[in-house]
Amino acid sequence: MSGLWSDLVAGSLGGPLLAALIGAGVVLALRAIEIVRARRDQSRLADSAILQRVAHPQGRAMTWTRALLLVAGAAALAAAIGLASGRAPETDETSDRETVFVLDASNSMLVNDVGEPRLSLERRLATGLATSIPGRQGVVYFAGRGYVLAPLTNDASAILMYVESVEPSVVGRGGSAVVSGLRQALSVLEGGAENAMKSIVLFSDGEATVDEPTEELLDRAARLEVPIYTVGIGSASGGPVPYEGEGARPPRRAGQEPEVLYRRDEEGRIVVSHLEESNLREIARATGGLFVPGDRVGIQRLAQIIAGDDRTLQSGPGAGTNALLILAFVLLWTEGFLLRRG
């Protein structure tokens, strides 16, 4: 039993438990002093039998019930404070985490089917993730092939600059070569620290117009223990792909917005791009990663996992602290308002 007690005190419960004991002890001592003084003052005021008939003072049982509620409430409050203040501060783990962002720069990212162009959403989500996770980071673009824009670095400003500058015009070769982008990302990570925790985050609509075998790449990532997390950019309903380039927009007529030109296939039909979620899920599944939708909640979840904390997201001071605060409120409110004071 003494070993268990020492483990509790020395472990993560030590701070809250000690705070609870101290808080309970102080309040109990003050309450005992108050009770003794009240009894003494009552005895000086009048005979106990007369006082009982006139003032109906609290009985001994009620007095100690109120005292116990007060002590328990104070202990719960002190424990909550100890739990909140005793949390380990966040540490900079830049030396043991390496992440490469693979950004889709194909023409399909110009589609506006998510309330804004996919490209804008991709930039915003990648920027949010880059600023939320520790460690060295790198950036790869891909369209018709993959390009390394930033090798692994601790320079956060450089990473953000490359993320914000992603656009199809940066990559001169058209198409969507997802495998080529992932291959470049793996090569970047292979040149990193040997014992680092490595991961790849792919932002894409999942469409691959360049025919490349994926099995070999996914096997390689799994063998190297590099999970590929995928972020779906776009919608299942999709949208037409705008044509961007010289002469893409005809001269605007007076009082009219310029007509948007869309890409067409060989048969003259407008090209429509859709989110290929199944492709992204398969990439993540085969490498031990995770697919998340392209929204704030998905990015928060990824940031938590990559940072090494895959617990359920909690807001505020934490579930344990909140529970103790609620318990303290109930106990103190019961002592102060529900029980008769006499």
Q: What is the pLDDT of residue 284?
A: 96
User: Cα(309)–Cα(248) distance, rounded to whole angstroms?
Assistant: 47
Q: Give, in order, the Cα–Cα distances in Å from 338 to each of 68, 135, 341.
A: 14, 54, 9
Element (H, E) at 182: helix 178-190
User: Cα(12)–Cα(45) distance, rounded to whole angstroms?
Assistant: 51
pLDDT tens track of the chain, all 342 residues?
444 444 434 444 556 667 667 766 776 677 677 667 766 665 665 555 555 555 555 556 666 677 777 677 677 777 767 666 554 444 444 458 999 999 999 999 999 999 999 999 999 999 999 999 999 999 999 988 899 999 999 999 999 999 998 888 666 666 788 999 999 999 999 999 888 999 999 999 998 877 778 899 999 999 999 999 999 999 999 999 887 654 445 555 555 555 678 888 778 888 899 999 999 999 999 999 999 999 999 999 999 999 875 433 344 455 566 676 677 666 666 666 555 555
The answer to whether residues 166 and 123 touch, using CB atoms and an 8 Å cutoff, is yes
User: Cα(28)–Cα(285) distance, rounded to whole angstroms?
Assistant: 57
Residue 294, token pair as written in the block? 């392209």
Q: What is the pLDDT of residue 6?
A: 46
The single residue listed with the structure tokens 């966040």 is: 90
Q: What is the pLDDT of residue 53?
A: 54
Residue type, 241: V
Provide CATH code, domain 97-306. Answer: 3.40.50.410
Q: What is the pLDDT of residue 297?
A: 94
Q: What is the pLDDT of residue 212?
A: 79
Residue 298, token pair as written in the block? 């998905």
Q: What is the pLDDT of residue 102?
A: 96
Q: What is the pLDDT of residue 238?
A: 93
Q: What is the pLDDT of residue 339?
A: 52
Q: What is the pLDDT of residue 90?
A: 43
Element (H, E) at 213: none
Q: Where in the chain is the domain with CATH 3.40.50.410?
A: 97-306
Which DSSP letter does residue 132 get?
A: T
User: Cα(232)–Cα(225) distance, rounded to whole angstroms?
Assistant: 22
Q: What is the pLDDT of residue 265?
A: 73
